[in-house]
Amino acid sequence: MDRPRSDPSFAAGAVTGFMAMPNFWQETPAAKVPVPRQTVIDLVFRTRGRQLPTDHAWTLRQTITQVLPWLEDEPNGGIHLIHGAQSGNGWQQPDDNSVIELSARTRFVLRIPENCIMQARKLSGQTLEIDGHKVTLLEARVRPLTPFSTVLARHIRVTDSTADESIFLEHTAQWLGELDIAPTKMLCGRIRHFTTPKGSMLTRSLLIAELNPKDSAVVQNKGLGPDRLLGCGLFLPHKTIAAVHTPLNDEGN
C-alpha cells in the first residue's frame, strides 16, 4: 500500500515526507555567534520492559511526578515520551491506538536542569506501571545538549485553531520570535492524538533547520509551547537534513 505523502516517516539517518512551507525555507548565510552556557541536560535511563501503549503521555507524566513531585514546579523540566524498536530511531511512530514494542535499546529520557541530576537519579530502580504495562528504569547517564544547526521536537502542542500546517508554522514563528529567533527553515509533521483527563491532546512534530549555535542552544534549553511534562516542546539535536527536501518520484520512492 502506498504511504500518503503527508505522513512523515523517518528512516535511520534520513528524514522524509515533511512538507515545506515556502516562507520557512529560505537560504541564509552562516554566522558565528557565541553559545550560551548550558543550563539543562537530558538524563537518559536504560529500560527493561516488553510493551507500552503509544498513547502513554498522561500516565507517564503522573507516574514520574509521583516519584519526582518537584518536577511539576520546574519550568525547565520535561518528560520525553518513550519510543520503541519499530520507531525508526524514534522518528516514525506507530498508530496512536497501538502499542510500542520495547527492546534493550529503548531509553527513557528526562530533561532537567543540571543542578537536579542527583534528585532525578532517584528514578533508577523504579518500576513504572503504565496502563497495565511495566517498565523498569535502570541506570542513567547524562547526555549534554548539542547545538546542532538542526533540531527536532517530536511533539508540539496544537489546538483546533492552529492545527492547519500554515497556521501552525506562523504560530511557531511567533513563539520563536519571543526567544529572539527568526526561523528560516521549518517543517512540520502530521497531527498526533493523545488522551488526557481534559480530552484529546493534539500535537505535531517540528523540525527547525539552519539555526546558529546560539539559537539552537536557546531553543533546546527553553523549549517551545506548553505541556513539557507531556512530552511537548522538547527539542533534540539532529545531525542532518540531507534527505528532507528531496522530492518523491511518481512511485513515492
Q: Domain spanning 40-144 has what CATH number?
A: 3.30.70.1890
Q: Enter the pTM of the model.
A: 0.78
- What is the enclosing helix (H) or strand (E) of 215? helix 213-222
Q: How large is the average pLDDT for residues 134-149?
A: 95
Q: In the chain, which residues fall in CATH 3.30.70.1210?
A: 146-238
What's the fold here for domain 146-238? Alpha-Beta Plaits (3.30.70)
Q: In the chain, which residues fall in CATH 3.30.70.1890?
A: 40-144
Under 8 Å between Cβ of 243 and 16: yes
Under 8 Å between Cβ of 111 and 29: no
pLDDT per position as a tens digit, 168-200: 999 999 999 999 999 999 999 889 999 999 999
Listed in order, strand segments (DSSP E) in 60-106 are 78-79, 99-101
* Per-residue pLDDT, 93: 57
pLDDT per position as a tens digit, 73-101: 999 899 999 987 554 444 455 566 688 89
Q: Which long-range contacts (CB under 8 A, 24 or more apart) does 126-129 make?
A: 126/67, 128/60, 128/63, 128/64, 129/63
Average pLDDT of the chain, as a whole number: 81
Q: At residue 143, what is the residue type?
A: R
Grid cell in block for residue 170 = 506562523
pLDDT per position as a tens digit, 30-74: 454 454 555 899 999 999 999 999 999 999 999 999 999 999 999
